[in-house]
Amino acid sequence: MQNRLVPIWRWRRGYINHQIPFDHFKIVQLPFYHTSPLSPSSSQPTHPKKNLSHLPKMPAILEDPSTRNPPPKAHTDAAPTLTARKTTLPKFSSVPMTLYPITGGPQTVPKDLIKFLHEEFSAEILRGGTYPMMEPMALDQFAGYWFGTFAVVAILDDEGEGLREGRDWKSICMGTFYTKPNYPGRCSHVCNGGFLTTTAARGKGVGQAMGEAYLEFAPRLGYTYSVFNLVFANNPASIRIWEKLGFSVIGRVPKAARLANSEDLVDALIFGRELGN
């Protein structure tokens, strides 16, 4: 360790009106310890360690599993209370549409239905006007993404056959949506949802019906507030649905998206609404 003297300025006396004559300073010599950053720690000057035991300890992780405000019920806990919701689509068919809640994960959904919805979702992503993804997901990734927490599938189901393998999903599947926490941990009682109306069912009122089902199921899952993070400003059909269902714009992200249906960057609206009222 090298010990050398380095000059520093030190006050001899105070100053008035910031006018400091030069002769009021003097140069003193203080020791300066110079060590290489690669030197071993033993070469550093020793200083007495301060006792910090009285200070509060910070958590090692951002999320604390203990909280006085319990998180929403797990979808599996709420499963026994959730039943299929029946409605009609006057714009499309007199056949009743049934919205089936999915609470057991993708393994409880017919594989051919997942394949059909994956194809529909991939086509929607490639159209580039509603979702932020650039490329479609793999089939397994989509299954977990869409059905991993809670989802609903809407089908025309006059006979009440339900969700089983081998049905003509292209003819009877109207759409689907998922519900999941928008934030982790202490904010997990705030949810969001993703919606997909199948190509053959566009403009038939399916989106409105799924939005109504979303507002019924979400509070029963324990959520108290809903946020939709990216509703693009050039999607008037979606905006009309959420405004009609009581959502309001709580934020706006200017020029948030590069969409295939616009030459200019498009703003994203953030919609929000309290649930259960």
CB atoms within 10 A of CB 225: 17
Contact (Cβ atoms closer than 8 angstroms) between residue 166 and residue 112: yes
Q: Is 133 in the same domain as 16?
A: no
Could you read off the pLDDT of 144-178 as tens digits, one per residue? 999 999 999 999 987 778 999 999 999 999 999 99
Q: Is residue 172 part of a domain?
A: yes
Q: Does residue 243 sit within a domain?
A: no
Q: Token match 């049905």: residue?
A: 167
User: Last residue of some domain: 175, 197, 218?
Assistant: 218
Asked whether residue 17 falls in the same domain as residue 139, the answer is: no
195 and 127 in a common domain: yes
Taking 50 as the threshold, does the pLDDT of residue 14 lie above it? no
Q: What is the pLDDT of residues 23-43, one digit of tens each?
A: 444 444 544 444 444 444 444
- Whether residue 98 is contained in a domain is answered as yes
The overall average pLDDT reported for the chain is: 81
CATH number of the domain at 138, please: 3.40.630.30
Question: What is the distance in angstroms between the CA of the first residue and the CA of the last residue of the chain?
Answer: 72
Query: What pLDDT is stored for residue 72 in this prediction?
Result: 57
Residue 6 domain-assigned (yes or no): yes
* φ, ψ dihedrals at 119, nearest 5°: -65, -40
Task: Name the residue among 220, 211, 186 with its Cα closest to residue 271.
Answer: 211
Same domain, 15 and 93: no
Q: Are 250 and 272 in contact (CB under 8 A)?
A: yes
Looking up tokens 């019920």, which residue turns up? 73
Question: What pLDDT, in 10s, does the model give residues 40-91?
Answer: 444 444 555 556 455 444 333 333 344 445 555 555 577 778 999 999 887 7
Query: Residue 30: inside a domain, yes or no?
Result: yes
Range of the domain at 79: 75-218
Strands 173-181 and 248-257: unpaired
Look at 232 and 95; give whichever has higher pLDDT.
Answer: 232
- Number of structural domains found in the chain: 2
Asked, for residue 47, whether it belongs to a domain, the answer is no
